[in-house]
Amino acid sequence: MLRMLEVIGTSEAGFSEAVKEAVERIIASGERIHFFEVVEQRGAVGKEGLREFQVKLKIAIEEKSTGSVRPEEQQ
């Protein structure tokens, strides 16, 4: 079973780098990614111009088994 996470990635270099940063952060946390979808792109602008690129991602990760017990097996 998969679980969907919604995360924001940022980069000063570009949208692709923002996606890579977000995906690598999830992988580094020990999650197993099956796929991702870019759902939004935007940027932040300051007094000196463009500050950063931002992407919103939906990332499908493998649901960790909780070893659940059926109600009739609980004591």
Please give the single-letter amino acid code of residue 75: Q
- 74 pLDDT higher than 50: no
Domains of the chain: 2-63 (3.30.1660.10)
> pLDDT tens, 25-58?
999 999 999 999 999 999 999 999 999 999 999 9
Q: Is 55 exposed, middle or buried (0-12, 13-18, 19+ CB in 10 A)?
A: buried
Question: pLDDT tens across 58-68, in order?
Answer: 999 998 765 55
Tell me, what amino acid is at 54? Answer: Q
Contact 20, 28 (CB under 8 A): no
For Cα atoms 50, 53, 58, give the angle at the middle one, nearest 5 degrees: 160
DSSP, res 71: G
